[in-house]
Amino acid sequence: MSEACGSPAIVARDVEKAYELGRIRALTGMSLTVEAGEWVAIVGPSGCGKSTLLHLVAALDHVDAGHIHVLGTDLDLVDDAAAYRRRTVGLVFQLHNLLPSLSAVENVEVPMFGTGRPRRERRRQAHVLLERVGLGHRADGRPAELSGGERQRVAIARALANDPRLLLADEPTGSLDSTAGRRVLDVLRELREE
Ligand code: ADP
Ligand code: MG
């Protein structure tokens, strides 16, 4: 995607999003600006539209009205949403969604498939990312052998596989106890500072 120099990371203007033929209005006149380098937490009760907003920014869904620009590009004009996601966004969900039959390092490699990176390079990058989230020593563990907090840190490493410009996390600590949750937030904060 083309990228205007100095554009905010995200600009949302008057966004409307409804489900079920308009019966459920998830977002109404929602506007938001996130500058590059900002770390923003969107807080609100269950059902207030937090996930809906993240899905729109990730181009997993379309606005009904209004506009969302990411790094200067109007998402309405993005015709290859998969390529946009691969290049621009890393996503972390409440449940880690790791593939159970793959080791931690193999899970981190998954988003690099189809990017043309050679196998050795993919593996090397996956190890670097696991080190960054403090799991270099667990690279060969399968998800079932890891703790909940470790699994979520693998999911963060996987989200970073293709050097995304945005990292979107939807309740990334929602299924963790407070200590593991704090560790996940510490990792996210360190990554942002880098
Ligand atoms: P949050 O993440 O803040 O809990 P959501 O964005 O998931 O909120 O949901 C906002 C509203 O939209 C809720 O009323 C929810 O039930 C509804 N909603 C979300 N996704 C769908 C969907 N795919 N189909 C129908 N309704 C949905
Ligand atoms: Mg949600």
Is residue 99 within 6 Å of ligand 1 at its C-beta? no
pLDDT score recorded for residue 93: 87
Is residue 26 within 6 Å of ligand 1 at its C-beta? yes
Among protein residues, the one whose CA lies closest to atom 16 of ligand 1: 47
Tens of pLDDT, residue by residue over 142-179, are: 999 999 999 999 999 999 999 999 999 999 998 899 99
- Map residue 15 onto helix, strand or coil: strand
Tens of pLDDT, residue by residue over 10-33, are: 999 999 999 999 999 999 999 999
Give me ligand 1 centre to Cα 46, in Å: 9
**pLDDT band of 193, cuts 50, 70, 90:** confident
Tens of pLDDT, residue by residue over 54-100, are: 999 999 999 999 999 999 999 999 999 999 998 899 999 888 789 99
Q: Contact at 8 Å (CB) between 105 and 140? A: yes
Give the ligand at the shortest distance from the Cα of 43: 1
CA distance 119 to 38: 33
Among protein residues, the one whose CA lies closest to atom 21 of ligand 1: 19
**pLDDT band of 4, cuts 50, 70, 90:** low
Is residue 42 within 6 Å of ligand 1 at its C-beta? no
Give me ligand 2 centre to Cα 45, in Å: 9
Q: Contact at 8 Å (CB) between 153 and 96? A: no
Give the CA count within 13 Å in the CB-facing half-sphere of 51.
10
CA distance 103 to 19: 37
Is residue 25 within 6 Å of ligand 1 at its C-beta? no
CA distance 113 to 125: 12
- Tell me which residue of 113, 61, 88 sits closest to 2, measured CA to CA: 88
